[in-house]
Chain A
Amino acid sequence: MAAFEIRDLSFTYPNENKPALDNITMSIPEGRITLICGASGSGKSTLLRRLKTCLADHGKAEGDVLFFGKALDDIGQAEQARRIGFVFQHPDDQIVTDKVFHELAFGPESLGWDQARMRLAVAEMASYFGLDELFEKNVAELSGGQKQLINLASAAVLRPDVLILDEPTSQLDPIAAADFLGTLRKMSEDLGLTVILTEHRLEEALPMADMLAVLDEGRLIAFGEPKKTVMQVKNSAVFESMPAAVQIFAAVDGEGDAPLTVSDARAFIALRARTSVKGEQPSVETCPETAAELKNCWFRYEKNAPDILRGLSLTLHKGEIFALLGGNGSGKSTTAGLLSGRLKPYRGKVKTNGLRVAALPQDPRELFVKDTVLDELKELNPEEASLSHVTELLELEGVLSRHPFDISGGEQQRLALGKVLLTAPDVLLLDEPTKGMDGEFKRRFGELLSRLKAEGKTIFLVSHDIEFCAQCADCCALLFRGEIVCRSAPRKFFSGNFFYTTAAARLSRGMIENAVLTGEVIECLKQ
């Protein structure tokens, strides 16, 4: 039986003409993982929220949603709350109480369960998720990944039939994201739970999905088994976000089922790889002039805390895009803090040669105080010329009269960048700029960085996003335990790494030398 039967569902937001969902018909199978993907604004979240009455947006809706054969609207709030679990995007915002155990108990409390039943449900969930250690902790002490796990557990504690997750890993670092998806998959397998999931990071999510639905501008353009479905959407915007394996397969006109995992893709590439060496060794021109420099810097947050940076030295050349990679807690953000002057090393030197250094916050909304985008830019009293230059450079013309909190995530980031640029910095520091962005946004953001570079800005980028750094950076460095262990041009950097490298490099290792970007692998295969 289908968990959800969606029939001719259309939905239009108030004051909009174009429907956000356009005549969607699909049947979501029970006990399977269904992945819904689509570019930003394709209606993924809107669709998910229509699957639970209390979350459905206001607006004009047509069509039917059946939940296990019964019209969803005829099912009471309490029953829906119990049977349909929902996990949202921001791990931090959906936690409402101060303690882990209280958060787990929130659902049972709301549904008025008695003490004995609550105790059992909560204990069971905490044991299943291995939360014993965290049970009495303050939520504030948890990492993003742990928080999202708590959110999953507190939805699962009601023993739902269906679990719906709206981009649950978009705010997590790659390792926490993989952990989260792993747990989700295990749960689905252990319990035969129906899972409906949207994701923009498809590299990990796609191989675990049983069904794939692709949305484009509110329409369902493909639905079915992933390895077949991916090939039907070759020409849509969402294809940019597909795993490297799928993109390569499609670009060289592979036949049959698309490879979704690294091993499948390697088998495919082994068949097709005729040239084994990619030609020229890259030559990156770095302007010898130094923009900023850290010399043998040591840093810790408190006198008795462990050192975060241990003798870090790093040179930033003028006009380059420098990417600093590394795991959580390796000291990436701290390094940016030293460059911005916000933090001071207790030993060592930071030299910025009189250049203005400005950092863009990870959450762009931290800079917004006004009611419109235009006022936001004007807050810094810029000259007319620089204002219009920035507006044009960042493509903000269309949204000048909107509220800064109502524009899309990509636009918010460009607006925040605009505000920072209006203070005329020479060196820009970006902390995880591509967090939560889909493939298309990332490409546009990369293009924007090249434009800024062309204007002579030096850009320092802290990121987990290997693919993005490989694509955009002039120089990459790996930070580990407060020290730089490797620093070179991206091609050398990523082709030399074994684990910490791009998907394309992993797919083609040993078959195509020096290939780092998906496009390069495709080119070699086409030769």
Chain B
Amino acid sequence: MPQTVKKSRVTVTLTVIVLSAAAIAVETWLWSSRKYYLTSVIIILLAMLPFFARFEGRRPQVREIVLLAVMTAFAVAGRVAFYWAPQFKPVCAIVILTAAAFNAEAGFITGAAAGLISNMFFGQGPWTPWQMFGFGLVGFFAGVLFGGREVKTVPMLVYGFFSVLIIYGVLLDTGSLFMYSQEVSLKALLAMYASGFTFNLIHASGTVVFLLLLQKPVLSKLRRIKIKYGMLQ
């Protein structure tokens, strides 16, 4: 058994290296010909690859896969509870809490999967990879900062606010610019960020409210279920 695991890991590593090399070659050419959107999407896909490859490579246990699937679906379905306030989206908050309860990898996988799944319901588009990567990164850094540690409320709220505003917001706005415009300049980027600011601010504030009210119950429920799954002794 360990033999095959090792083998698959070697294959994965090799593939990643070969693909990256090819991609860098293509990218330099594309970037110089100002194909920003295609270049960036290739980079994003390559950046996500190792996370998924690692997850696959270590053959996750039942409880991991079940819990991540539950949290992913919960992040996507959560907006139903706020049918009366459609601009309230819990995805980032849930992803951050998942990362805090488990680890950075769980945060990334939940975020990226939530991005993909929600687009399976609302329609895929050129924005799909950006959303996956955006949610994934928000989860990843949350895991790096809070994963498996005693969580303090204020730092998490601060992180929630700025991660949505800066990581997710800026990433998605950059993506939109690359999508809609062939002329990328600092000026154009700043204009895009300025126009997206209000929207991102609402998203970030919403995330803070979600974190404020859901942090305690969600973390305690996850702790309880971890005990039931025998993940904590």
Contact = CB atoms under 8 A, between A and B. Distances in A.
A58 B228 CA distance: 11
A371 B230 contact: no
B220 A58 contact: no
Contacts of A96: 66
B117 to A, nearest CB: 10
A369 B218 CA distance: 11
A369 B220 CA distance: 12
Interface class of chain B by DSSP = helix
Contacts of A58: 230
A96 B230 CA distance: 21
A371 B223 CA distance: 12
A371 B217 CA distance: 9
Interface in B192-233: 217, 220, 224, 230
Contacts of B224: 403
B215 to A, nearest CB: 15
Contacts of B66: 96
A403 B220 CA distance: 12
A369 B217 CA distance: 9
Interface in A358-398: 369, 371
Contacts of A371: 220
Nearest to B65: A96
A163 B66 CA distance: 24
A365 to B, nearest CB: 13
B102 to A, nearest CB: 20
Nearest to B120: A98
A403 B224 CA distance: 10
Interface string A299-315: 00000000000000000
A369 to B, nearest CB: 8
A450 B128 CA distance: 58
Nearest to B220: A371
Interface in A147-168: none
Interface in B52-66: 66
Interface string B161-172: 000000000000
Interface in B84-140: none
Nearest to B230: A58
A371 B224 CA distance: 10
Contacts of A369: 217
Nearest to B217: A369
A309 B217 CA distance: 40
Interface in A189-223: none
5 contacts: A58-B230, A96-B66, A369-B217, A371-B220, A403-B224
